[in-house]
Amino acid sequence: MTKQPADTPPKFEDRVFLGFVVIASLAMAWIASPFYGAVLWALVAAIMFAPVNDRLMLRMPTHRNTAAGLSLIMVILLVIVPAVAIGSLLIDEAISTYYSIQQQKIDIGKAVRDVQAALPPVVMETLARFGMDDFAGIQERLSSILTSGLRLIATQALNIGQGAFSFAMGLGIMLYLTYFLLRDGRALHRKIGEAVPMHTDQRRALFEKFITVIRATIKGSIVVAAIQGLLGGIVFALLDIQGALLWGVVMGVLSLVPAIGTALIWLPVAIYLLATGEIWQGVTLVLCGFFVIGMVDNVLRPILVGKDTRMPDYVVLISTLGGISVMGINGFIVGPVIAALFIASWEIFVDTRLSDKLGG
């Protein structure tokens, strides 16, 4: 047996092993990368439903598997089933609306001309002064945006149908991981905490920020967006506006992005209704838009989020849009989390530097 040379520095082996740990970790991340979306949403679901699992564990402290299983059933019933049902209805309505536009059952040109004809001369003069009187161009752009958006939804629906096996596999992995994260999440948290080479207070601060931002993002954005979209869809349905479900979902999606609200949908529709003589419908939509749909964000977000997290609006905007552009829908979660960890790490760094200077 070959002996280790006596003069070999002990830290050399540590560096070699650390390099091996880094390489093995990167290799594992590379292997798991096709399912990073499933892993991300499993982590999000586990974090959001951890309080439910904890309450169940208090009632059945010796039945971890049962508690995690019941929590997973709640995830399926409260999240997965409604999302699949709404997605299916949305796809059907998007395809139906797309074909209606293609077959000119929905005449966008006529709608634009009706608005143009109903506008008072003073409004037309004001629009002309700002170069906004090109209604033919508006009609063309509006038609292009609508058809492109609806075509995109239809295409994505076709892709999901063709990739049904991959979708089912991703969903299965997400639910499978959610179960084990709910069951073993506390133990995993402790093990990861012990392995991360940071000071205890720094590690705790970053972990708490990570969990806080995910919960705040879900509660303060997705829940609010779902409620705004639901209210918008109901108002559109009560006013007998075609595609109520579709426009409700679009309003919900737009409310997710900071500085872009649901008014981007309901306000033009209200203007059209007022311009074409449907006064009470237009007035009702304006009142509901401002005092019902629009107020949800101001009323519910502080209640749901409280003082959990508060990043500058411009940071939220940049991180959300940047995350979505880089990672798609997954970036909606990843973007704000990265931004929050970025801010938290710099705050810890500055505090540490100040402490060192004061201590010195």
Residue range 127-153, pLDDT digits in tens? 555 555 555 565 566 566 666 666 666
Q: What is the rounded CA–CA span in Å between residue 246 and residue 72?
A: 29
Chain length of the chain: 360
Residue range 22-54, pLDDT digits in tens? 899 889 889 988 888 888 889 889 988 988 999
The mean predicted confidence, pLDDT, of the chain is: 77
**Contact criterion met (CB below 8 Å) for 220 and 282:** no
Is pTM beyond 0.95 here?
Answer: no
Q: CA-CA distances (angstroms) from residue 4 to 15, 19, 252, 344? A: 16, 20, 65, 44
For the residues of 184-205, what is the DSSP string, one character each? HHHHHHHHHHHHS-S-HHHHHH
How high is the pLDDT of residue 164? 64
Q: What is the rounded CA–CA span in Å between residue 92 and residue 310?
A: 38
Residue range 63-106, pLDDT digits in tens? 889 999 999 999 999 888 888 888 777 777 777 766 666 665 55
Q: What is the rounded CA–CA span in Å between residue 351 and residue 347?
A: 6
Q: For 162-188, b where at least 16 C-beta lie within 10 A, e where not — what string? A: eeeeeeeebeebbbebbbebbbebeee
Confidence tier at 185 by pLDDT (50, 70, 90): confident
Q: What is the mean pLDDT of residues 246-269?
A: 78
Nearest to 125 by CA among 137, 133, 117: 133
How high is the pLDDT of residue 240? 85
Residue range 310-338, pLDDT digits in tens? 667 677 778 888 887 888 778 878 888 88
Does residue 232 carry a pLDDT above 50? Answer: yes
Report the percentage of the chain scoring pLDDT > 90. 9
Does residue 1 carry a pLDDT above 50? Answer: no
Does residue 179 carry a pLDDT above 90? Answer: yes
